[in-house]
Amino acid sequence: MTRKIIIDTDPGQDDAVALLLALASPEELDILGIVAVAGNVGLAQNARNALKIVELSGRTEVPVHAGCERPMRRKLVTAEHVHGPTGLDGPDLPEPQKKLEDKHGVDYIIDTLRTEPPGTVTLCTLGPLTNVAMALVKAPDIAPRIREIVMMAGAYFEVGNITPAAEFNVYVDPEAADVVLTSGVPITMIPLDVTHGVLSLSHRLEGFARIGNRCGKAVSEMLNFSERFDMEKYGNEGAPLHDPCVIAWLLKPDLFDGRKINVTIETTSELTRGMTVADYWRITDRPKNVLYLRSADDDAFYALLTERLARLP
């Protein structure tokens, strides 16, 4: 059965790969819309990048909305040092002909959840959680209508990637993450603990290029650019591939392992701002609010990604 999804994203190279994986899987995923959020770079550039990826995929019927241009209570922190000034450095993609939808992304999320039957729409978040949190604050009635939120966010065993304690998506807007994690909506969290186990090794990037289509070539060029930063930082032979894990989990959940635990967000300490306090060993009696994934079958993950990218132009 096809699952209805909204993808909330700040494209980035790994976001772009996640979008392409979803766009290549129409039998399983009905993408109602894509919403851009400020994160890896500013909102306007992230929205433009989302339009570019939709055009690259040939799925130009999928609407793209722009959401919030700053976190709920913080100044925006971006990651050009990883993704380049465009947020999507690597391939030379043409300026998009497709236009953004007029409706603000937060209002689009609210209106869609109110229109679609309750429990049928999954929110897939690949960036900071600002848009989803703002929708929940503005329209609390949508919370019980959401089937699930599947997020690339957080870390426990791998600690932080933007500070010693925090993963980037949560760090950018910890108040938003707190709103979402205390909303009562079913949540699956895909943290750095998973994504650091699915490395974009050279033979895997070469496999994308060998597909022979424009999307495979673009993905190879994107990841060859963005992986250099993480390879230098971590000393591994490949870089983590974060956001496509969200879509892969929807397509093949048996590739992943995890457990239901409590996850709480640190919002007040400057030292540990944005830390996901994951009670993985169930030390407290706090309610289990998150299905927290721990590991993935990396070979099967890349096989899935390569097979789906080959379906695209």
Please give the positions annotated as active site.
242
Please check whether residue 134 is in contact with residue 72, taking contact to mean a CB–CB distance below 8 angstroms: yes
E strands, 62-219, are: 64-66, 121-125, 146-152, 187-190
Q: What DSSP element (H or E) covers 224?
A: helix 214-234
Within 8 A by CB and 6+ apart from 103, the residues are 65, 111
- 153-185: string of b/e by CB count within 10 Å (b at 16+)? bbbbebebbbbebbbbbbbbbbbbbbbbbebeb
Please check whether residue 273 is in contact with residue 164, taking contact to mean a CB–CB distance below 8 angstroms: no
What is the C-alpha to C-alpha distance for residues 104 and 95, in angstroms, rounded to an integer?
Answer: 22
Dihedrals phi, psi of 82, to nearest 5 degrees: -100, -50
Tokens in use for 254? 């048996």
DSSP three-state, residue 147: strand
Question: Taken in order 21, 250, 188, 111, is the CA torsion positive or negative?
Answer: positive
What is the C-alpha to C-alpha distance for residues 159 and 163, in angstroms, rounded to an integer?
Answer: 9
